[in-house]
Amino acid sequence: MSITFQVHRRDGAARTGSLATPHGVVETPMFMPVGTQATVKGLTPDQIAATGATIILGNTYHLTLRPGDELIAEMGGLHRFMCWDKPILTDSGGFQVFSLTSQRKITDAGAKFRSHIDGSPLELTPEKAVEIQQNLGSDIAMVLDECPPGDAPPDAMRDAVRRTILWAERCKRHHTRPDQSLFAIVQGGTDLDLRAECARELVAMDFPGYALGGFSVGEAPAAMHVALPTCAALLPDHKPRYLMGVGRPEDLLEGVAAGIDLFDCVMPTRSGRNALAFTYDGPLRLRNARHRRDPAPLESGCPCYTCGHFSRAYLHHLFAADEMLGPTLLSLHNVAFYLRLMADARAAIVDGRFGLFRDRCLARWHPAP
Amino acid sequence: MSITFQVHRRDGAARTGSLATPHGVVETPMFMPVGTQATVKGLTPDQIAATGATIILGNTYHLTLRPGDELIAEMGGLHRFMCWDKPILTDSGGFQVFSLTSQRKITDAGAKFRSHIDGSPLELTPEKAVEIQQNLGSDIAMVLDECPPGDAPPDAMRDAVRRTILWAERCKRHHTRPDQSLFAIVQGGTDLDLRAECARELVAMDFPGYALGGFSVGEAPAAMHVALPTCAALLPDHKPRYLMGVGRPEDLLEGVAAGIDLFDCVMPTRSGRNALAFTYDGPLRLRNARHRRDPAPLESGCPCYTCGHFSRAYLHHLFAADEMLGPTLLSLHNVAFYLRLMADARAAIVDGRFGLFRDRCLARWHPAP
């Protein structure tokens, strides 16, 4: 096992910890910016690091299609290829197979489907998912799982859980890379019995870390917030817990409250490209004409490059004029905001006031009517 | 007059100098990256400064349309609005009026035309061009000129020169901002008698600097290279000379050889967005499949951020995957290359070997058949 994880402080179910990987230590709870195609969209590695990010996520499905995991291995691995020398976690491609591809056929052997780029026929098996991630050389790899939509019928959900357990075992058996850790993924939707069964089986296999999958696929946020504490408690206390693909700032706070350590989501970068900025005072839509003459920064007191240099008026202008720099500067602020939120959450846990911190944030973002 | 200019060393007609402005000193010959809409496309001010740029260009026509020069003045001027604290030169909008707008009507009073954004009717007069640039607060402003295409009939060219002289005088009379210098523009196409007449009239008005206009509008490069030495020699020796909107690396070297001090062109950023990189070994098209597995940087020995971090394989991948970071990284390298070319030209002039430097570059870029 190439990672170590230590829990430091607790505040209810919330906890701080350190996750040591071959490329450095990650303080948890932590948010991982998403670098789908070997780039966090619009940001250089220097800009990403300047937001305070200490770990990013790469997408196995996208990278095996383009430029190809063997090419990346030949170029010295994903860290060197994209020039990011801090930790990387790669997903297994399962989620993308179930959300992006067409003509899917899932059997116990694996998934057959058509590429979303050129329609060419492809196959992803548990073994193949491991091989790809070993080629990429991420610090943390994920097992291949089946990700049915949140509203899948009970039979489909049960079958997905059975297959996820089967595939996890095959991934573990096939995994050999000593400088990479393989995490398992618990599925089961909002059926807590199914989640418990899935977790029990996977915990028995003794993975170095565990994720909750299936919460980003059409799950209503309220249902997720209710299910999260129970689901998180199904995972071993002394191992890192990762809530995949979630989410909004409020979802991260609910996750931290439930005892989650790691998060990822495209929201800060995707919203940034769409002129939506996150702040402690709630979201700002920079295309809105009311920002046209506003000399204030996005968020006063924010130490990011964008807030340290530019006015809302300038950012409004960049989006009105369709300039590339707008998406870059807003993505940069949003990623920095997510990481500041996590840093503030860690500080609040250490001080034993995380509940208060969360409640104050939620009250600001969703004021009572 | 708010600038001072000193010629330091000469090598034939080529010369080095220092142009001191209210926002800092510019060593010449110098290339100015183009920041059309208050942003050098895809680059943050920090990234622009890291390329070695010490002066950039802003476009009066674009900025008065969007976000508006009065708004920029309200926000503290263009330097503060876009967070660039080094010198800025603004053009007068003449070139854009003649190349981008529709339903143009030119009289001695000024130009009436339709906006290229929304078709709304607009008017630009010499006085208005000065007022806009005073609102922007650039270090160097340009007079409004008439820019006929290079193949305009002799009568039209003569009329444009007459009007350019008339407008220059009105601009000078209207200009009041003490921390801004106003440069005149010599027109006349490839008719050297007309150029001489235009230069004579404008030089008599004693502007602090002079530009050659009309060479980027459909002029054949060979004809420009022939005309340049004569045209440059028409401009006062002790004042800065600026060749507007030109051009390719080889055109810059011909300009320097003719005694030009300042250049601007969208080529390094526009080519960067189109996956074309400039190097001393000639251009590279990064979409070409031969770069797919190439671990080498764009240009070995180039000190720019792109070459210091990324392989051609990675840059090829970014363009193949249509990722924003590709245009940003290539624009960054190209601007840095143009500035390195100028720095190398200055060093060659100081050493009295500029002719050799130019000939070697041209031989590499256009090898004999």
Q: Which has the higher per-residue pLDDT, A173 or B223?
A: A173
Domain final position from B265, B300, B322: B265
Active site residue B46: no
Is the model's pLDDT at B350 over the cut of 70?
yes
Name the residue in chain B with its Cα closest to that of A332.
B44
Is B304 annotated as ligand-binding? Answer: yes
Stated as kind and residue range, the H or E segment containing B58 is strand B56-58
Q: Is residue A69 part of a domain?
A: yes
Apex CA B257: angle with CA B251 and CA B261, to 5°? 80
**Distance from chain centroid for Cα B80:** 21
Shortest CB distance from A324 goes to which of B41, B74, B316?
B41
Shortest CB distance from A42 goes to which of B37, B311, B324?
B324
- Judged by average pLDDT, the poorest of A1-5, A42-46, A74-78 is A1-5
Q: Please give the ipTM for the structure prediction.
A: 0.96
A351-360 contacts: CB < 8 A, separation 24 or more?
A352/A11, A353/A11, A354/A11, A354/A12, A354/A14, A354/A256, A354/A257, A355/A11, A355/A12, A355/A257, A357/A253, A358/A253, A358/A254, A358/A256, A358/A257
Phi then psi for residue A214, to 5 deg, are 80, 0
| Structure confidence at residue A144 as a pLDDT band (50, 70, 90) | very high
Judge if B57 and B158 occupy the same domain: yes
Cβ <8 Å between A295 and B71 = no
Q: Is residue B275 part of a domain?
A: no
- Judged by average pLDDT, the poorest of A94-103, A273-282, B16-25 is A94-103
Name every chain B residue with its beta carbon within 8 A of the beta carbon of A39: 318, 323, 325
Neighbours of A28 (CB within 10 A): 29
Cβ <8 Å between B323 and A41 = yes
Sign of CA dihedral B255, B256, B258, B262: positive
Judge if B178 and B225 occupy the same domain: yes
Q: Is residue A46 part of a domain?
A: yes
Apex CA A163: angle with CA A159 and CA A169, to 5°? 155
Distance CA B126, CA A192 (A): 74
List the B111-114 sheet strands across, edge first: B102-106, B111-114, B121-124
Binding residues of A for Zn(2+): 302, 304, 307, 333
Q: Is residue B37 part of a domain?
A: yes
- pLDDT one-digit tens code per residue, B113-125: 999 889 899 999 9
Stated as kind and residue range, the H or E segment containing A317 is helix A312-320
| Structure confidence at residue B239 as a pLDDT band (50, 70, 90) | very high
On whether the CB atoms of residues A126 and A165 are closer than 8 A, the answer is no
**DSSP for B265-280?**
ESHHHHHHHTTEE--T
Judge if B366 and B243 occupy the same domain: no
DSSP state of A116: T
Apex CA B200: angle with CA B197 and CA B203, to 5°? 145
Start-end of H helices in chain B: 45-50, 60-65, 69-74, 78-82, 94-100, 126-136, 154-174, 192-204, 221-233, 249-258, 267-273, 305-309, 312-320, 325-350, 354-365
Name every chain A residue with its beta carbon within 8 A of the beta carbon of B82: 314
Token pair belonging to B120: 């709304």
Strand pairing partners for B184?
A: B210
Q: Is the peptide bond before A22 cis (omega within 30 degrees of 0)?
A: no
Name every chain A residue with its beta carbon within 8 A of the beta carbon of B327: 324
Shortest CB distance from A323 goes to which of B37, B81, B310?
B37
Active site residue B91: yes
Judge if B28 and B88 occupy the same domain: yes
Is the model's pLDDT at B276 over the cut of 60?
yes
Domain final position from A211, A232, A265: A265
Judge if B286 and B248 occupy the same domain: no
CATH code at B97?
3.20.20.105
Is the model's pLDDT at A267 over the cut of 90?
yes
- Residue to mutate among A34, A36, A39, A274, with most B CBs inside 10 A, is A39
Domain final position from A240, A265, A290: A265
- pLDDT one-digit tens code per residue, B134-191: 999 999 999 999 988 878 899 999 999 999 999 999 999 999 999 999 999 999 988 9
Helix (H) and strand (E) counts for chain A? 15, 16
pLDDT at A40: 98
Q: Is residue B270 part of a domain?
A: no
Cβ <8 Å between A311 and B81 = yes
What average pLDDT does this structure show over A149-173? 94
- pLDDT one-digit tens code per residue, A104-118: 899 999 999 999 889
Q: Is residue A274 part of a domain?
A: no
Q: Is residue B241 part of a domain?
A: yes
Judge if B59 and B29 occupy the same domain: yes
Provide Rg for chain A, Cα atoms.
20
CB contact burial A308-327 (16+ within 10 A = b; e otherwise): ebbbbbbbbbbbbbebbbbb
Distance CA B315, CA A295 (A): 36
Stated as kind and residue range, the H or E segment containing A277 is strand A276-277
Residues of A with CB under 8 A from a CB of B: 37-39, 41-46, 62, 66-67, 71, 74-76, 81-83, 292-293, 295, 305, 309-311, 313-314, 316-318, 320-321, 323-325, 327-329
Residue of A91, A139, A251, A261 marked active site: A91
| Structure confidence at residue A1 as a pLDDT band (50, 70, 90) | low
Strand pairing partners for A33?
A: A265
pLDDT at A200: 98
Judge if A59 and A153 occupy the same domain: yes
Judge if B246 and B322 occupy the same domain: no
Q: How many domains does chain A have?
A: 2
Distances (CA, A) of A262 to A246, A256, B193, B353: 10, 9, 73, 60
Locus of tokens 């009572």: A368
Cβ <8 Å between A75 and B314 = yes
What average pLDDT does this structure show over B243-250? 94
- Could you tell me what percent of chain A has a pLDDT over 70? 99
Judge if B177 and B227 occupy the same domain: yes
Distance CA B257, CA B13 (A): 6
Q: Is residue B189 part of a domain?
A: yes
**DSSP for A205-258?**
TT-S-EEE-SSSSS--HHHHHHHHHHHHHTS-TTS-EEETT--SHHHHHHHHHH
Shortest CB distance from B39 goes to which of A71, A316, A318?
A318
Token pair belonging to B296: 């080498």
On whether the CB atoms of residues A346 and A36 are closer than 8 A, the answer is no
Judge if B196 and B313 occupy the same domain: no
On whether the CB atoms of residues A338 and A29 are closer than 8 A, the answer is no
Torsion, Cα A176 A177 A179 A180, to 10 degrees, reads -80
Locus of tokens 């049960």: A158
Q: Whole domain around residue A319: which residue ranges?
A: 280-369
Binding residues of A: 91-95, 145, 187, 214, 302, 304, 307, 333
Judge if B286 and B261 occupy the same domain: no
Cβ <8 Å between A37 and B317 = yes
Judge if B284 and B256 occupy the same domain: no
Name the residue in chain A with its Cα closest to that of B297.
A81
